A and B are shown apart, each in its own frame.
Chain A
C-alpha cells in the first residue's frame, strides 16, 4: 500500500518520528533509529561546553534521516525564533519543532507564545511543526498561520501516561487539514497504535524507547505498532456496540 506521510510537500515512508534524548549511549540511539525505521529525528540546540564537549551526535545519525531541530529550553516566542534562526544559519534544515515551555513542573507549552513564534517563523520561511496542548482552536489557528503540522501532546513530556487527552486529539484529527503528529507522553506501543487508529498521521516518541530496558527492541515494537494502527485506521475500526454472538445462535449439538 502506498501510504506516505507528506509534510510540507516532502514524503516520508515512516510515520514514526524519534527524539534522540535520554539514550545511555549514541551507539544505542543509532541502533534504535535504524530499528524504528524513522525518517525524522529531533535534536536540541545548545551552547558548547568547552570543558566537556562530548561526542558529536550528528555523526551517529544516518544522512538520509531528516534532522528536526527543536527549540527546547525556550520559554518565550523571541527565544524560540532566535534558536531556530541560529540552527538554520548554521546549516541545519529550515524545519523546526517549535516548543515554547515556560513551566518546568508539568512541561506544558505556552499556547500564546507558540502561536506568535509560529507566525514569525513561517514568515521567515521555516517549515514549522509546533508542539502544543491538544486545543482544537489553537490547532486551527496554527494551521491558519501556515504551520506544516500540529503536534498535540498525549500527556506531559516523558510521563509515559498515554492518550490522556484523546477526546481533544480526536477533534483535532477530525478538523485538521495538515498532518497531526501525536507528540509526547506515549509510554507503550499500544498508545502509539491507538493514536494511529484514531487517525493521527504520525507519532513522535522519545523517552518510551530511549529508557526501555532494550531500546532497540522497543524501537521495533513502536514501528510495528504505528504500522498496525495505521493499517487498522484504513481498515476501519469498528464502533462500540451491544454484545452480538459471533457464532450461529441455533443448532447447538
Chain B
C-alpha cells in the first residue's frame, strides 16, 4: 500500500503500523511525533495503529527553537 509521509509517497506492506513506518524511516529512537489524517497518534499506540492505503501522515520532531 502507499501512504503519504510529509508529502512523499512511501510503500508499505499491508498491516504496517506507525511503528513499522518509523522503523523504516530510521526513527525508532528519540521523539518522532506522528499525525495520521490530521489526528495526533499517541506514542504508546504506535505499534498498534495500522496504516491504511492513502493515509496522510505528518512525522515531526523537536528541533532547536526559542
- Within residues 37 to 73 of chain A, which ones have a CB less than 8 A from any CB in chain B? 42-50, 54, 56-59, 67, 69-70, 72
Binding site for A on B (CB under 8 A): 5-6, 8, 25, 27, 29-35, 40-43, 58-66
Cα distance A245–B37 when bound, in Å?
73
- Number of residue pairs across A and B with beta carbons under 8 Å? 105
Contact of A23 among B59, B60, B64 (CB under 8 A): B64
User: Can you spell out 6 A-B residue pairs with CB atoms less than 8 angstroms apart?
Assistant: A20-B65, A44-B63, A45-B60, A57-B63, A58-B62, A91-B33
Please tell me if the beta carbons of A56 and B66 are within 8 angstroms of each other in the complex: no
Interface centre among B6, B32, B60 (most CB of A within 10 A): B60
B59 & A47 in contact (Cβ 8 Å cutoff): yes
Q: Are A57 and B62 in contact (CB under 8 A)?
A: yes
Most interface-central of B30, B33, B40, B41 (chain A CB within 10 A): B33
Pair A48/B59 contact, Cβ less than 8 Å: yes
Q: Decide if the interface of chain A is mainly helix, strand, loop or mixed.
A: mixed
Q: Does A165 contact B (CB under 8 A)?
A: no
- With contact pairs A89-B41, A90-B34 given, residues A45 and B61 touching in the complex (Cβ less than 8 Å): yes
Contact A20 B66 (CB under 8 A): yes
Query: Which among A22, A43, A69, A207 has the greatest number of chain B C-beta atoms within 10 A?
Result: A43
Query: Whole-angstrom distance from the CB of B23 to the nearest CB of chain A?
Result: 14
Q: CB distance B65 to A50 under 8 Å? A: no
Residues of A within 8 A of B31 (CB): 56, 58, 90-92
Interface contact B33-A21, CB-CB below 8 Å: no
Considering only CB atoms, which chain A residue lies closest to B42 in the complex? Answer: A89
Q: A50-B8, A58-B30 in contact; A90/B64 too (CB < 8 A)?
A: no
Q: Is A87 on the interface with B (CB-CB < 8 A)? A: yes
B29, B32, B66: the one contacting A21 at CB < 8 Å is B66
In the complex, what distance in Å separates the CA atom of A89 from the CA atom of B64?
Answer: 19
- Judging by beta carbons under 8 Å apart, are A45 and B33 in contact? yes
B64 x A86 contact (CB < 8 A): no
Q: How far is the CB of B2 from chain A (nearest CB, A)?
A: 16
- A121 CB to closest chain B CB (Å) equals 13
A47–B32 Cα gap in the complex (Å)? 10
- Cα–Cα, bound, A26→B66 (Å): 14
B30 pairs with A72, CB closer than 8 A: no
Given A56-B30, A59-B30, A87-B33, do A45 and B63 touch, yes or no (CB 8 Å)?
yes
Complex: chain A residue closest to B27, CB-CB: A48
- B66 near A46: Cβ-Cβ < 8 Å: no
